[in-house]
Structure 1
Amino acid sequence: MVPKVMTVKEAVSRFIADGDYIAVGGFGGTRIPTAVLHEIVRQGRKNLGLSGHTATHDCQILAAGGCFDRCDVAYVVGLEARGLSRVARRRFEKGGVKVTEWSNAALAWRYKAAAMGVSFLPVRTMLGTGTGAASAGVLMECPFTGKVFLAVPALYPDVAIIHVHRADVYGNSQIDGILIADWDLARAARRLIITTERIIPHEDIRDEPGRTVIPYFLVDAVCEVPYGSYPANMPYEYYSDERHLREWLEAEEDEERFRAFLDRYIYGVTDFMEYLERCGGIERLRQLRAEEFCLRDERRDS
């Protein structure tokens, strides 16, 4: 095994090129690799393809940078109960993105097909729906029963980016809580960048092998990024920063204001740690950790 530790800047430079198709782990505003997404914008990657498997703030970031021009859409643009990203919405509505529609389940099945090494999977999801008609799925008849299914093609992202709780230097990764589709996504991708809250000794991995959900041989880069999902939620680590997400959405209401916002938080910082400092630093992060565990913030209450 070879150590794969590098900076986020190096990982993006080495493994993500213009025109690549990328897929982001996590789900919605939970456990997303924000640090890598910021770096993609900073390095000016363009013409990317994006898997929109409930892509909320991740889609918002990449749309702000004008990074992608095609998207497999299940759920994008909306930030769930927080509202819609105006910038992302405009990008789609003005025709700047080629769209193919899927359901969340269908995109997950496409990852699974790729992970299994088969060219498609027959599914019942989307049958008889407008989403199915707008997808690239193909109706097929089961050779055994004669029933009609929708064949969804395997999806092999050029690059997957997954944020995890712990990893060793080789890439063996542990995730606490629900995996969503990341088990299959890691196996479907041609290249895999792991960002992790912390790097742990390899001996800890060996002590509890059953906790490794992504093995080292799938991984190309390991980047240690504490609070790397911020401002999104990281289960059992810290809650989402609703204040900062509101600031994003409000800044998008005015083009000049939003340019200044991006300059302050993405283009004008050297790395993710500097971004965290501009968002309130360790004091704000400590508050979010307390919120995740529903703990009373004694210093804030005093």
Structure 2
Amino acid sequence: MIELEGDIQPVGELFQSPDVNAAREFFRHKSRAMVDKRMGVREAVERFIHDGDYIATGGFGSVRFSTAVLHEIVRTRKHNLGFSGHSTTHDFQILAAGRVIDRCDIAYVVGLEIRGLSPNGRRFMESGAVRTTEWSNAGLGWRYKAAAMGVPFLPARVMLGSDTLRYSAGRLIEDPFTGQKLLAVPALYPDIGIIHVHQADIYGNAQIDGTSIVDLDLAKASKRLIVTTERMVETEEFRRDPRKTSIPYWQVDAVCHVPFGSYPGNMPFEYFSDERHLAEWVEVEQDEARFAAFLDKFIYGVDNFETYLALAAGEQRLAELRSLEILKRS
């Protein structure tokens, strides 16, 4: 038997309903037509991300997240967004910079892996402006899994005996076969999923090279899905080898062609992370006035992601990062 002191039920707030029937009804009416879904990042954000929505990003840590969409969310000053902080580093750092979220499911935020902590992210979270509920990385990932499976929750052993359990929004249940205590982690249906991929066609068929982390479940769980892609390819590429289709077209609502779309993060097999620029973020965040000027320069003061790339990196630096990733040092 799993012993839990006092069998205390978790006290965290549940930000998204795990109602499977409501989700099924939504997805039942979602179009599966093979139509051209190409659009710019600005149009995708305007059409599909609204104040108050709950958003979730793909990738892991500083790897394969959609910087372009996150910048646009901040630049257009969205507000009162919910956020799924599953293994998020620079993506959370960007959203915290714009103070666009007011509630967050937390597995990993503020931390920047070996780069330390985000000073601004820490200030933002300690300000009390964000309501929080805690999960483990696995627990939050399995919430996507439950939604992808079409079940209201999954039974798990994660977080048992920890304070993470206490501040989660799971529920303690009893295994009907053994009588043991388990944690029911509720399905999570984000209003918007945002995933960066290696290649996609005009309809939204998308391919992720390398590990997909929880993105396949996130794509299935998200009510709306924005895909940004390094390359646009013909649909025949997917028909030639359907096994490489990570995300099928009917799950996708917008396809945005954004080369270097994960910069300054890493895109496996494409380019390495720009550690100089990421370090600059952390350094300037220590002073609020300098950080405000930094954001004006790189996000608010530019029209689009392409201008940001030219300003923050430039062609030579991007070429260096591509060489670093494929181990062809010049």
1:146-177 deviation line (CA, Å, top 9, x unaligned): 12100011000000000000000000000000
> Which of 218, 221, 226 is equivalent to 1:188?
221
Q: Structure 1: give runs of 5+ residues left out of the alignment.
A: 298-302
Superimposed CA distance per residue, residues 184-230 of structure 1 (whole angstroms, 9 cap, x where no aligned partner): 00000000000000110011111111100100000000000000000
Partner of 2:172: 139
Which residue of 223, 239, 248 corresponds with 2:256?
A: 223
For the residue of structure 2 that corresponds to 1:114, the secondary structure is helix
Larger deviation, residues 1-10 vs 275-284: 275-284
1:86-235 matches, within 5 Å, as 86-235=119-268
**TM-score with structure 2 setting the length:** 0.89
Partner of 1:300: none
Segment of structure 1 superposing worse, 27-36 or 287-296: 287-296
**1:252 aligned partner:** 285
Deviation readout 1:108-143 (Å, 9 max, x if unpaired): 110000001111110001111110111011110011
Structure 1 equivalent of residue 16 of structure 2: none
Q: Distance in 1 between matches of 2:323 and 2:70?
A: 26
Query: Cα offset for 1:280?
Result: 2.6
Aligned counterpart in structure 2 of residue 66 of structure 1, from 94, 99, 108: 99
Specify the code of the residue in structure 2 equivalent to 1:135: S
Q: Deviation above 3 Å: which 4+ runs of structure 1?
A: none
Deviation at 1:294, TM superposition (A): 2.0
Q: Say which of 64, 72, 75 aligns to 1:39.
A: 72
Note the C-alpha offset of 1:46: 0.3
Matched to 2:289, the amino acid is: E
Structure 1 distance, partners of 2:320, 2:246, is: 29
After TM superposition, give the deviation of residue 253 of structure 1 in Å: 1.3
Query: How big is the shift at 1:31?
Result: 0.1
Task: State how far apart, in whole Å, the 2-side matches of 1:235 and 1:96 are.
Answer: 35
1:15-30 paired onto structure 2 within 5 Å? 15-30=48-63
Alignment partner of 2:246: what SS?
strand
CA deviations over 1:43-74 (Å, ceiling 9, x no partner)? 11000000000110000000000100110000
Q: Which amino acid aligns with 2:207?
A: Q
Partner Cα distance (1:92, 1:296) in 2: 40
> How far apart in 1 are the matches of 2:196 and 2:228?
5
Instruction: Find the partner of 1:266 among 299, 302, 326.
Output: 299
1:88 Cα deviation from its structure 2 partner:
0.7
Aligned position for 2:20: none
> Which SS does the other structure have where 1:69 is aligned?
strand
State how far apart, in whole Å, the 2-side matches of 1:217 and 1:248 are.
37
Query: What amino acid sits opposite 1:119 in the alignment?
Result: P
RMSD of Structure 2 on Structure 1 (CA)? 0.6
Distance 2:208 2:94 in 1: 24
What letter is aligned with 1:80? E
**In the alignment, residue 218 of structure 1 is paired with which amino acid?**
Q
Provide the rounded CA distance (Å) in 2 between the counterparts of 1:116 and 1:280: 41
CA shift for structure 1 position 295? 1.7
Q: Which residue of 1 aligns with 2:23?
A: none
Secondary structure of 1:14's counterpart equals: helix
**Structure 2, unpaired ranges of 5+:** 1-33
Of 295, 299, 315 in structure 2, the residue corresponding to residue 282 of structure 1 is 315
1:291 aligned partner, one-letter code? L
Find the aligned partners of 1:81 and 1:96 in 2 and give their Cα distance.
27
Distance across 2 between alignment mates of 1:94 and 1:149: 34
Q: Percent identity?
A: 64
Take 1:11 and 1:207, find their aligned partners in 2: how far apart are those partners?
Answer: 29
1:240 equivalenced with 2:264 (yes/no) = no
Letter in 1 for 2:59: G
Task: Give the AA of the match of 1:54.
Answer: S
